[in-house]
Amino acid sequence: MSEVAAAGRAPPPIPLSVKIAMAFVVLFVLFALFGHALTPHGFRETSLLHRLEPPGTEGYLLGTDARGRDLLARLVAGAQITLVVAIAGTVIGAVLGSLLGILAAAQRGRAEAVIIAAIDVQASLPIIIVALFMLAMFDNSFALFLLLVGLNGWEVYARLMRGATLQAKESGYVTAVRALGASPARIYLRHVLPNILNIALVQFTVNLPLTVLLETALSFLGLGVQPPLTSLGQIMSEGRDRLMTAWWLTLLPGAIIFCLALSVSMIGDWLRDRLDPTLRSER
């Protein structure tokens, strides 16, 4: 409705739900970094005297597992790995995918055809299947696992960034700046990139929970993070057989995974509404 011009452009306040989500993410990071101060036990330390203690037991705030290891200490160690995998993994996919997408749009021609074919191939193979295939062939190492999880979603970044770059390339402001005599480097760094970064940022918040879920799912299947390291998914996997008797071993790490994924995607939804140019009145 062009007749109704939007007036003042003060950014709307952050909704309470998003504030809570942000607080949870901060809390999770603090928990992973400093949580070991909450418990005297190491995450590999077993105690045959304290097997399957329920939460609230003296000295074991969140209880213990079947080998008498402190669940709190294990959750901290698992959160650390999950955090590392989530961030490193997401960044790998985001950087690789975005670069390929921008390259395809910038070069067109043969490079673009090759990248599109690669996107098609990846899109026809869910990443978990690729990961399982690779894990069947190569020895499971943390580096390989990180790489596989990192590949998660690269094709989405590539597709989004290609589209956004093409659109920016055709835009009036890039035409005008080209006509000013700007070099390609200046056009891409100063004009195209700043205008497409939002899209990658929003996709980052979509991809991060998916990466967490992929890592925990693979670890849950026993094909991800291997002992002596641990992750939230691996803790769940170990506790699974005792679901009926020691629910805390599965539900506590599960709750952390769920809340983390939920918080990040709520922040992402809010960001999308804030940044989406189609929702913002430009005219």
Partner 1 sequence: MTGYILSRLIRAAVTMLLTVTIVFLFIRFSGDPAAALVPPDAPQEVIDQYARTMGLDQPIWRQYAGYIGGILRGDFGFSIHTGLAVEEVFFDRLPFTLHLGLTALALAIAIGIPIGAIAAIRRGSALDRFVMGFSVFAFAMPNFLFGLILILTAALAFGTFLGGDSANVIWPALTLGLAAMGSFARFARSSLLETINAPYMRAAEARGVPFWTRLIRHAAPNAAIPLVTLIGLSLGALVAGSVVTEQVFAWPGVGQLLVRSVATRDLAQVQFLVLVVAFTMVMANLVVDFLYLLIDPRIRAT
Partner 2 sequence: MAAEQGSGAARPSPLLSVFGLTVALPPDGDRPEAVSGVSFDIAPGETLCLVGESGSGKSVIGQAILGMLPSALPVTGGEISWQGTSMPAQRDAAFAGIRSAEISMIFQDASASLNPVRTIGAQLAEVLAVHGIAKSERKARVRDTLRDVALPEPERIARSYPHQLSGGQAQRAVIAAALLLAPRLLIADEPTTALDVTTQAEILALIARLKAERELAVLFVTHDFGVVAEIADRVAVMKDGIQVETGAAQEVLNRPQHAYTQRLIAAVTPPERPPNPRDDTRVLEARNVNLIYRSGLFGGRQSFHAVRDVSLEISAGQTVAVVGESGSGKSSLARCLLRLEDIDSGSITFKGAEISGLTGNALRSLRRSMQVVLQDPYSALNPRQTIRAAIAEGPIIHGATAKDAHRTADALMELVGLSAQAGGRYPQEFSGGQRQRICIARALALEPELLIADEAVSALDVSIQAQILDLFADMQARYGFAILFITHDLSVARAIADDILVMRQGEIVERGPASQIFDAPVHPYTADLLAAAPGLDTFQPESAA
The site for partner 1 (CB under 8 A) is made up of 117, 120-121, 123-130, 132-138, 209, 213, 216-217, 220-223, 233, 236, 240, 243-244, 247, 250-251, 254-255, 257-258, 261-262, 265-266, 269
**Rounded Cα gap, residues 234 and 181, in angstroms:** 56
**Rounded Cα gap, residues 47 and 100, in angstroms:** 51
Q: Is the dihedral of CA 155, 161, 164, 165 positive or negative?
A: negative
Q: Which is nearer to partner 1, 161 or 256 (CB)?
A: 256
**Rounded Cα gap, residues 10 and 224, in angstroms:** 46
Of 1, 70, 84, nearest to 36 by C-alpha is 70
Query: Which one of the spans 35-43, 81-89, 139-147, 186-194 is the region binding partner 2 (CB under 8 A)?
Result: 186-194
Q: Which is nearer to partner 2, 19 or 190 (CB)?
A: 190
When asked if residue 282 is in the footprint of partner 2 (CB under 8 A), the reply is yes
When asked if residue 179 is in the footprint of partner 2 (CB under 8 A), the reply is yes
CB of 113 to partner 2, least distance (A): 9
**Rounded Cα gap, residues 217 and 186, in angstroms:** 43
**Rounded Cα gap, residues 273 and 128, in angstroms:** 30
CB of 104 to partner 1, least distance (A): 16
Residue 134 interface partner, choices partner 2, partner 1, none, CB cut-off 5-8 Å depending on type: partner 1
Of 200, 236, 201, 199, nearest to 215 by C-alpha is 236
Q: Which is nearer to partner 2, 51 or 272 (CB)?
A: 272
Residue 221 interface partner, choices partner 1, partner 2, none, CB cut-off 5-8 Å depending on type: partner 1
Contact 191, 168 (CB under 8 A): yes
Q: Which is nearer to partner 1, 94 or 208 (CB)?
A: 208
Query: Which one of the spans 6-14, 126-134, 223-231, 243-251 is the region binding partner 2 (CB under 8 A)?
Result: 6-14
- Omega within 30 of 0 (cis) for the link into 194: no
Query: Which one of the spans 20-28, 130-138, 180-188, 223-231 is the region binding partner 2 (CB under 8 A)?
Result: 180-188
Q: Indicate which single residue of 191, 202, 203, 257 sits in contact with partner 2 (rule: CB under 8 A).
A: 191
CB of 189 to partner 2, least distance (A): 12
Of 188, 82, 53, 103, nearest to 145 by C-alpha is 82
When asked if residue 141 is in the footprint of partner 2 (CB under 8 A), the reply is no
Q: Which is nearer to partner 1, 134 or 177 (CB)?
A: 134
Q: Kindly tell me the burial class for residue 68, based on how many C-beta atoms sit within 10 Å of its own C-beta (0-12, 13-18, 19 or more).
A: middle
Angle at 242 between CA 72 and CA 30, to 5 degrees: 20
Contact 21, 266 (CB under 8 A): yes
Q: Is the dihedral of CA 8, 11, 13, 15 positive or negative?
A: positive
Residue 59 interface partner, choices partner 2, partner 1, none, CB cut-off 5-8 Å depending on type: none
When asked if residue 110 is in the footprint of partner 2 (CB under 8 A), the reply is no
When asked if residue 143 is in the footprint of partner 2 (CB under 8 A), the reply is no
Contact 63, 246 (CB under 8 A): yes
Q: Given the rule CB under 8 A, which residues bind partner 2?
A: 2-9, 171-173, 175-183, 186, 190-191, 194-195, 282-283
